[in-house]
Structure 1
């Protein structure tokens, strides 16, 4: 599974690299923050752009189950992939700006990966016989997890406040 995950991540890296290089070579300094919006100004076929968006989001989504589940089970992998694809399809249809999606994902995943998950893993992995819950390292780990949760809530609050002030909370505007 590690080899599959490595190949998958490497393939996604090259896909994004090619997208960035050819997007820049096509539009040079006129590339917008969302390159698909740049193409939609040139190409009147909005359905084609929607299909490209869907393909990119599906590619990103399909790498998640491969990387996250080294104890591989086809039933679990396929069911989680189908659920993720369903959510991604809803996001593609209802969210006009991918910046909002990346903002929410970044606000939730960064604190989880940096603060919350390592702290929780430490609390769960180190046995109570070796270190009781009231020991200094475990208290510090719990505080670290709480700090990460606070960062996540604050980041999501700033994103929602931005949506409310700019009128993008219900999928309107760019």
Structure 2
């Protein structure tokens, strides 16, 4: 569940605002169901081929080219995911620090290094993310994953409670800045279905939010007695509970801000409830959740890099440390200079996420399984591939079109 839930939870209210409540519910249910089904296909192929990684499935299906393609996709996807998490650290940590240091004079504190998002991002990456990412086995992150999950649940509960603390229509100004917000009661009506140019970000954000496939196989392989049936139960339960948490946080986030919801949900609370103690604690909780999830995503990314570029070298701690450091550096640089989290969700979600979530599992199953083509599983795999290609291409084209015409 920690591998599933991360920065995506902050972008789903924005997706709901641009698809409507019913439209969002249908799309989220489709993506969650297909994510569960694609994990089932991956586990089936692991049992059949006795391989222990996503990259080796690519090797079995399409030779060296398949292995390199999967590894490259995983590297890009995980760099995008880690960047989106650290982007939250950059945007939210300064406000959390400022909230704790209420005694500081505002004129002085705004110029202080400890309120610079980029400096804080660098510090947390060096002191927290890098040491945890250096751990030799993914199983060591079980305890931090539990903490991260409870922080996410806490965030969802606060979003539900705080719906009643922010009035609608939204106030025209706040203590922090003047807001250009309409004061019409028409802004307080939820839409069941909605379509706009921003709707193109909806499915990529959902695909990004449910992608746990690169972590499922390493976790499965480190179990004491791996069983496909029990792992499938774990997957279905994890995705089901994640769906529930995602839906509730997205719904109440949308019903709080309606069409004025930010692409990163916490920004709205920071704007309208800047000194609220509970919002400060939930901001800290999300920051901890994000920081504890980034090392989890480092594992499959580092494994993919080692398999593509260093498979000819013996396993060594020096190589392990250098690859971890390089990945960490790239991710921090991306997080420092990407302006908006929805851009990460859009581009990474419509390309690498759709490949790893829909296209690759379906393609590999079609190639490796010996069943008749008209068998239910092969037809399902075929539908998964077609859905992934159509959704990925359509979303990417619309997002690029939006960028060109901004």
| TM-score category of the 2 structures, normalised to the smaller one | 0.5 to 0.7
The answer on whether the counterparts of 1:57 and 1:88 sit within 8 Å (CA) in structure 2 is no
Task: Deviation per CA, 1:94-118: give whole Å up to 9, x if none.
Answer: 2222122223333235423442121
Task: Determine the structure 2 residue equivalent to 1:16.
Answer: 152
Q: CA 1:81–1:24 in structure 2 vs 1: closer, same or farther (change >3 Å)?
A: farther
Task: Determine the structure 1 residue equivalent to 2:336.
Answer: 93
Task: Determine the structure 2 residue equivalent to 1:136.
Answer: 373
Q: CA 1:151–1:118 in structure 2 vs 1: closer, same or farther (change >3 Å)?
A: same
The answer on whether the counterparts of 2:359 and 2:385 sit within 8 Å (CA) in structure 1 is yes
**Distance in 2 between the 1:84 and 1:11 partners?**
24
**Distance in 2 between the 1:60 and 1:153 partners?**
29
Task: Deviation per CA, 1:83-139: give whole Å up to 9, x if none.
Answer: 44333323322222212222333323542344212123314543xxxx39xx62698
Task: Deviation per CA, 1:119-174: give whole Å up to 9, x if none.
Answer: 23314543xxxx39xx6269855674354233212212222222333x3xxxxxxx
**Distance in 2 between the 1:163 and 1:56 partners?**
31
Q: CA 1:97–1:78 in structure 2 vs 1: closer, same or farther (change >3 Å)?
A: same
Report how many aligned residue pairs link the two structures.
Answer: 149
Higher RCO, 1 vs 2 (CA within 8 Å, ≥6 residues apart): 2
Task: Determine the structure 2 residue equivalent to 1:160.
Answer: 400
**Distance in 1 between the 2:269 and 2:339 partners?**
14
Task: Determine the structure 2 residue equivalent to 1:39.
Answer: 270
**Distance in 2 between the 1:139 and 1:24 partners?**
41
**Distance in 2 between the 1:75 and 1:40 partners?**
45
Look up the SS of the partner of 1:136 in the other structure.
Answer: coil
- Give the unaligned 5+ runs of structure 2: 1-136, 167-255, 276-283, 304-314
How far apart are residue 64 of structure 1 and its match?
0.9
Q: CA 1:118–1:77 in structure 2 vs 1: closer, same or farther (change >3 Å)?
A: farther
- Give the unaligned 5+ runs of structure 1: 44-51, 168-174
Task: Determine the structure 1 residue equivalent to 2:212.
Answer: none
Where do 1:1-174 residues align within 5 Å?
A: 3-4=139-140, 6-19=142-155, 28-29=165-166, 33=262, 34=264, 35-36=266-267, 38-39=269-270, 42=274, 58-66=291-299, 78=321, 81-123=324-366, 125-126=368-369, 131=370, 136=373, 141=381, 144-145=384-385, 147-165=387-405, 167=406
